[in-house]
Amino acid sequence: MKTENIALGGMTCAACAKRIEKAVGKLEGVNQATVNFATERLSVAYNEKQLSFNSIQDTIVKIGYQVIENKKNNVDEDRLRKEKEIRTLWIKFTISAIFGIPLLYVAMVPMVSWLPFPIPAFMEPMQYPLIYALIELLLTIPIVAAGYKFYIVGFKSLLQKSPNMDSLIAIGTSAAILYSIYNIYQISMGELMAVDHLYFETAGVIITLILLGKSLEAVSKGKTSEAIKKLMGLAPKTATIIRDGKEMEIAIDMVTIGDIIIVKPGEKIPVDGVVTEGHTAIDESMLTGESIPVDKKSGDAVYAASLNKNGSIRFKATKVGGDTALAQIIKLVEDAQNSKAPIAQMADIVSGYFVPIVCIIALAAGIAWLIGTGSLEFALTIFISVLVIACPCALGLATPTAIMVSTGKGAENGILIKGGEALETAHKIQTIVFDKTGTITEGRPEVTDMVTINGISEDRLLQITASAEKASEHPLGEAIVQGAQKRNLELLKINDFESITGMGIQAEIEGEQALIGNRKLMENRNISLISLKQESDRLASEGKTPMYVALNGNIAGIIAVADVVKKSSKRAIEKLHKMGIEVAMITGDNKKTAAAIAKQVGIDRVLAEVMPQDKSDEVKKLQAEGKKVAMVGDGINDAPALAQADIGIAIGSGTDVAMESADIVLMRSDLMDVPTAINLSRKTIRNIKENLFWAFGYNTAGIPIAAGVLYLFGGPLLNPIFAAAAMSLSSVSVLANALRLKRFKA
């Protein structure tokens, strides 16, 4: 099964999106077809053996829409295309406004006495009705020309039995124009009072207002995808590489894996790689959202589009093109923006049936008022108002625009949300399960405490121990060596090093016999630990591993080593508790150590002594309690649990397997991003619900008012011009509400 994302052109409303989905979905071999009206893209999963990509494109073109060529680096083309579309819409609106304002004025002057400028005598409707009517017609023609697409697309869709928003506008304004032209004929035949029944201004102003709405909508839609455009524009266009001993500047597309690339201060890293020479600090905020530059030296990884701050480096290219971290992030965000949240399904269903139902309501209301009043003009007003006010655009934009803004905002903060479904599910989470090692803790042991007796100093104890452990390969020994390096302690020369399996080591250092290891080693050598019992018990209760150090047969002290808790862990868990979320920790450690870590950070439930392969079963048990569960992890052994959870959240410093299995990826490895992601989901879903409420509410209230229900009970009658303004504003208001998410703070 292959999935393609196709850029579309020519869509005007949610009904268009539904029509494309329907047409492509019917093709044999298509598994799923989803159109995102806000991004104007079709995501289609199909069987290549049954169906060709060209057949899908042909189907789209056949039903009246365009397929826009997809290019690898199409950010500039896409931006130019959008800018051209916005510019064209503004020109059309300007033309229609230039003629629409005088048209409205000419139509209103005979009815409103307080207007300041009377029309010229030769245009007086009572004196020269034919001239007056023809001038209105002449003013209307350029407006209709500016909005010609409404008629071409609208009537074409109508003939193909799939009416859309353009069909509503085309039918309504055409009815007004044709009726007015009929009245011009009546005037020319001597029926001078027919001048009172001209509706040119209604059609002209409706088109003008809708073009204004479309222009504002295009500008707003452009803003919703700013984050992805910003990401796509980050990568440099060229790279300076060394080939045949010479420096040369080449296009980024020409860089290959293994090339040695030079980056000077102030330049961007062109592709992913590993530093081979030099030392610098690199701003990786585009990747992680973290503003503090990261020190880089030989052997460290660097990423495309990050900014080299102060040193010159050379690095070896390891990932290029679509394989770079930036390219993967862009793909994740694009996929998320093109996806649909389950909450959008209801709006999609309504949008699909909406336009035909509106046409029926408009026709029924018009006929009913014609029978009831006997006035064709009144019935026409009702008919046009219902057609014009009812537009499914707001419904179609309600969900995707909010998803576009929030996924983009998440990416800016180092939170990659893989789709609309993940975004929607995250707000329902009741329990979050954290893996311990590398997630709550740093994932590497560190020296945490030192206890000395018999007059030895901490530095001396650490210096002797680190000198002995330098020859050891044990992870705890490495932690002690690093602890000595942090204190700038010089390591001493050792003699007669011996590793004692399962217990520790012994060595001669500057004439002293050092014995370093666990309780069992000390007991085997008859070294008394009574004086340190209380301290060793305390350290063990805190989840730390005490390593005993004896010199010349006497105990000298304890160095405690532990996998320390991340600074952000406790704050993140406190924040989750305030949000009403239960927090659990899962680990393979013994219950005592796990309980100690849990106590430090405020964990509610501890799932200890869990084998890696059993983690997903523990998630299942929590789900069996009826809870929506999120799993946060970083390792290969977390992948099954991440996939099993309702939402899998991977720490960005973790493995590719974990990140593939997750629904949300935290690029900064900061646990404070977990509550941020949940909060972003909550705010987005609230925004979507607001959008849907206003979109449904607008149409639910607007159609009956336009149909004259209030007028029936002595209330006002909705003028078609106000109906057009309301329709345009409904889409713009939904977009404006979605854009409020851009103010989201982590």
**Residues designated as active site:** 435
Our CA angle for 167, 173, 175, nearest 5°, is: 95
Q: In sequence order, which ranges of 239-343 are alpha helices (DSSP H)?
A: 285-288, 325-338
Helices then strands, each counted (H, E), the chain: 26, 26
d(CA 680, CA 742): 11
CA distance 120 to 98: 19
Residues in CB range of 377: below 8 A, 6 or more apart: 179, 197, 199
Taking the C-alpha atoms of residue 458 and residue 453, their distance in angstroms, rounded to an integer, is: 10
Measured CA to CA, the distance from residue 691 to residue 697 in angstroms comes to: 10
Q: What's at 560, amino acid-wise?
A: A
Q: Which residues lie below 8 Å from residue 524, measured CB to CB, with a gap of 6+?
A: 503
Answer whether 192's CB lies under 8 Å from 129's CB.
yes
Residue where the block lists tokens 């304002």: 101
State the Cα–Cα distance between residues 490 and 467, nearest whole angstrom. Answer: 8
Cα distances (angstroms) measured from residue 258 to each of 65, 320, 461: 44, 10, 46
- What DSSP element (H or E) covers 396? helix 393-412
- Distance between CA atoms of 565 and 571, rounded to whole angstroms? 11
Identify whether the C-beta of residue 56 lies closer than 8 Å to the C-beta of residue 3.
Answer: no
Q: Of 420, 423, 410, whose CA–CA distance to 741 is shortest? A: 410
Half-sphere exposure of 687 (CA within 13 A, CB side): 30
Running DSSP on this structure, what letter comes out for residue 635? S
Which contacts (CB < 8 Å, 24+ apart) does range 126-132 have?
126/195, 129/187, 129/192, 129/194, 129/195, 130/184, 130/187, 130/188, 132/106, 132/195
Other beta carbons within 10 angstroms of residue 26's beta carbon come to 10
- How many residues would you count in the chain? 746
Instruction: Look at the alpha carbons of 400, 406, 411, 416 in this order and tell me if their dihedral is positive or negative.
Output: negative
Closest listed residue to residue 423, CA positions, set 411, 431, 439? 411
3-state secondary structure 56-88: HHHHHHHCCCEEECCCCCCHHHHHHHHHHHHHH
State the Cα–Cα distance between residues 305 and 284, nearest whole angstrom.
8
Check residue 211 and report its DSSP letter.
H
User: How far is the C-alpha of 305 from the C-alpha of 300, rounded, in Å?
Assistant: 16
Contacts of 91 (CB under 8 A, 6+ apart): none
What SS3 class is residue 291? Answer: coil
List of residues 6+ apart from 443 with CB closer than 8 A: 437, 563, 634
- The one-letter code for the residue type at 273 is G
Tokens standing for 133? 């009517």
- The kind and range of the H/E element at 246 are strand 246-251
CA atoms within 13 A on the CB side of 583: 25
